Structure 1
Amino acid sequence: MSALELTVSGGVATLRINRPEKRNAMTSEMWRQVPSLIASVAADDAVRVLVLTGEPHFSAGADIGEFGRVRSDPARGRAYDAVVEEAEQALTRLGKPTIAAVRGYCIGGGCELALACDLRVAAAGARFAITPAKVGLVYSLTGVQRLVDTVGPAWAKQLLFTAEQISASTAERIGLVNEVVPDDRLADRVSALAASIRHGARTSVTGAKFLVERLARSAVPDAATAALYDQAYSGADYAEGVAAFLEKRPPSFD
């Protein structure tokens, strides 16, 4: 059984971390597999949303047990960090919406994976922490940027400085997660959220993701932004949306 399992159903891809005996800790090989799995999601036109999850824990982070081999010196450490960075960037650059469904521990590299997703929904019992301070490491630059963008500088510093675990309710209060739901409602809520996204206009959803990511880094319009609007206005989704509104019926974007 693979430690990373990708399934597709009804336009929703689910990437499940499946190493429960190690609380879904990520090995270097698992990190290496992420970009190719995300690439297959990107290439499948039927997939509209990706859900990243794990049971009974989202992920306890990187597998520290292998650090003596894969992070034994600066050169190996840099190589390992590059693999993790590539996995994170594969998620952030995917042109389709991503949802992290978080249950149990979401620690260290696990939290970095969740932050690389567009939305995060947590079960009430979930626990979050960013823990490089516990092992003498420095969190990746892109990971810190994403954290600051999400929770602001003050909370980013507290999480990084202390490595303390925080509850799902605290994570929601500081903006680390979008929603917290009862543990037995997590799957249903994520499924409903994915369905809402899947039934929306593809042009609108992918355009919104592009613009939010662009504005997080620069508010200056450019040729790519202009082309995005041109494509929307000349696209089938826009035509269907206007027609449905005028005809007083639900739009059909599939």
Structure 2
Amino acid sequence: MNVAAFTQLFITEQQPGVWLITLNRPKALNALNQQVLEQLASAVAWIESQPDARVLLITGSGDKAFAAGADIVEMKDLNAQQARDFSQIGMATMHRIENSRLPVIALVNGFCLGGGCELAMACDFILAADNAVFGQPEVTLGVPPGFGGSQRLPRRVGPGMAAQLLLTGEKVKADEALRIGLCNQVMPPEQLLERGVEMAAAIAKNAPLAVSHCKRLVQVSGDQNIENGCRMESDLFGLSFATEDQKEGMGAFTERRTAEFTGQ
């Protein structure tokens, strides 16, 4: 597949192994319609197929929005079955991002509402510009979230705060999102991409399989008791000793040189 086929997205390699997907509907505040959702899932799969891919960044074009939500113009006349089908497309895209072998970082600029907030939460963590505004305002439109917001938001901010945001539909600015744990860092908009690439580069230098194991272990930590989680950690720790990256990493440490990981 050619990058040019993704008509609703910009796809660029920022530096070796660090890829950036930019939602490209600035006039619609990067609203998520069916085409965007399907292209986004395909783009993630395409980037994963690149042998040197190590980290994925996702952001929105323009300075007003990461993604202002799902596309209300496309949704408003759907019947119940069509709406469920649309929700399932969105859910599949979010699961595709969440379950990617790559670490995925959301770079949130401007409005990050509804489906946009759900997209950001499907990423492993969130960096935000100080003009970012987060929220799940679906109840003000007569519906609950449809792309996983009711499930991922409690895991980010706790059930009490999630209930407040979901039931009131209120929005929070970047500093409050940082305080409640919805985002990881806040910075001026002009520094957002630079910081994202810098953090991605730091991840990309590490052993890819070990990074992937850490991502998976964090994901399952909230869904099982600590004994089962620790058992899984021990299993993956042991399996890592069958990799070339473990031999390279520990060999480089003892030889006082920089490790060169291959993901093998």
TM-score (normalizing by structure 2) = 0.90
Amino acid across the alignment from 1:128: F
Residues in 2 aligned to 1:217 and 1:41: alpha-carbon distance in whole angstroms: 28
**Are 1:134 and 2:132 an aligned pair?**
no
**Out of 109, 113, 122, which is 1:103 matched to?**
109
1:114-154 deviation digits (Å, cap 9, x = unpaired): 00000100011111111111111112483212110100011
Residues in 2 aligned to 1:41 and 1:117: alpha-carbon distance in whole angstroms: 15
The answer to whether the Cα contact below 8 Å between 1:34 and 1:90 also exists between their aligned partners in 2 is: no
1:152-194 deviation digits (Å, cap 9, x = unpaired): 0111011111212211000000000011112221111111100
How much is the aligned-residue C-alpha RMSD, in angstroms? Answer: 1.9
Stretches of structure 1 that go unaligned for 5 or more consecutive residues are none
Aligned to 1:60: 68
**Are 1:162 and 2:172 an aligned pair?**
no
Residues in 2 aligned to 1:173 and 1:3: alpha-carbon distance in whole angstroms: 33
**Out of 8, 32, 37, which is 1:3 matched to?**
8
**Out of 242, 254, 258, which is 1:250 matched to?**
258
Number of residue pairs matched by the alignment:
252
Aligned to 1:187: 193
The within-5 A match list for 1:46-125 is 46-55=52-61, 56=63, 57-69=65-77, 72-125=78-131
Identity between Structure 1 and Structure 2 (%): 35
Residues in 1 aligned to 2:158 and 2:175: alpha-carbon distance in whole angstroms: 17
Stretches of structure 2 that go unaligned for 5 or more consecutive residues are none
Aligned to 2:246: 238
Q: CA deviation at 1:34?
A: 2.1
Residues in 2 aligned to 1:97 and 1:211: alpha-carbon distance in whole angstroms: 13
